[in-house]
């Protein structure tokens, strides 16, 4: 409850000494609003962990998959991604009719810290 | 609405170097992620907090232009950085103390 209240009127700023991994603002199911997701492979690469070890060690981080075509559709609507950043994800499916998916892990403060960022909360008003 | 579910922008904050104070108040963690709804005033506040400086001493600039406090990062992105890849490059300047 307390955390919820803080979330509702605080902005999160993430500071890092190395370039931050991109996040994508996606709606992964119709029953919930959009939130931010990393590519799971980007996170694993930066942490130098396998998917199995990551999920065993951090079972509380939400990992999901999204059909690649749906990911492409949503990403192409972003106003803050450059054409080349969008284009990088637009490779057509490998085989016609193949159900390709992308694996995602949800961005949250704890994961940002794990990736080496310092997280600061700032009140909206004041 | 929770700000943490907003779309993010990626920024890179470099100090506008000037004179004697050139190597002071350098931000070690210069890569920043925040909500598109954050305003310049919020960014200034967190920056001052990290640099341990009073608010009036720090300004945020894009291309030598001081950015207004109430501009949101989305407005900034769309008006100055649309179509360009992340991160958006910003400068900050620190007012030197009078002697």
Tens of pLDDT, residue by residue over A3-20, are: 555 667 899 999 999 999
Average pLDDT, chain B: 91
Task: Name the residue of chain B whose CA is nearest to A7's CA.
Answer: B2
ipTM: 0.92
pLDDT at B24: 83
CB contact under 8 A, B31 and A15: yes
Kindly report the number of other CB atoms within 10 A of residue A107's CB atom: 25
CB contact under 8 A, A11 and B34: yes
- Tokens encoding A114: 């794990």
More confident residue, A5 or B19: B19
Task: Name the residue of chain B whose CA is nearest to A13's CA.
Answer: B34
**In chain A, what residues touch B55 (CB-CB under 8 Å)?**
none
Q: What's the predicted TM-score (pTM) here?
A: 0.90
CB contact under 8 A, A36 and B83: no
Calculate the alpha carbon distances from A120 to A13, A96, A109 in Å. 5, 45, 9
CB contact under 8 A, B74 and A80: yes
Helices and strands of chain B, counted as H and E runs: 2, 5
Number of A–B residue contacts, CB under 8 Å: 106
pLDDT at B1: 65
Q: Which of residues 65-94 of A touch B (CB under 8 A)?
A: 78-85
Flag the least confident range among A80-94, B2-16, B52-66, B76-90.
A80-94
CB contact under 8 A, A80 and B77: yes
pLDDT at A89: 84
The rounded distance, in Å, linking the Cα atoms of A9 and A53 is 35
pLDDT at B97: 65
| Phi, psi angle pair for A86, to nearest 5° | -70, -45
Query: Which of B2, B45, B86 is opposite residue A122, by nearest beta carbon?
Result: B45
């Amino acid at each position: 409850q307390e955390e919820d209240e803080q979330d509702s009127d605080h902005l999160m700023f993430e500071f890092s000494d190395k370039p931050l991994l991109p996040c994508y603002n996606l709606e992964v199911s119709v029953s919930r609003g959009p939130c931010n997701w990393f590519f799971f492979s980007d996170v694993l690469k930066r942490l130098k962990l396998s998917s199995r070890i990551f999920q065993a060690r951090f079972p509380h981080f939400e990992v999901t998959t999204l059909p690649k075509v749906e990911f492409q559709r949503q990403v192409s609507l972003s106003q803050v991604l450059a054409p080349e950043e969008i284009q990088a994800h637009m490779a057509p499916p490998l085989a016609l009719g193949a159900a390709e998916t992308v694996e995602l892990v949800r961005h949250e403060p704890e994961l940002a810290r794990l990736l080496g960022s310092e997280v600061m909360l700032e009140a909206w008003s004041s | 609405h929770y700000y943490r579910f907003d779309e993010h922008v990626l920024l890179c904050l470099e100090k506008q170097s000037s004179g004697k104070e050139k190597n002071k108040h350098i931000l070690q963690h210069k890569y920043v992620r925040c909500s598109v709804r954050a305003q310049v005033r919020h960014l200034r506040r967190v920056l001052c907090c990290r640099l341990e400086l009073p608010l009036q001493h720090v300004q945020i600039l894009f291309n030598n232009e001081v950015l207004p406090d109430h501009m949101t990062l989305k407005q900034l992105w769309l008006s100055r950085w649309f179509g360009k890849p992340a991160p958006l490059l910003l400068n900050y300047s620190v007012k030197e103390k009078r002697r």
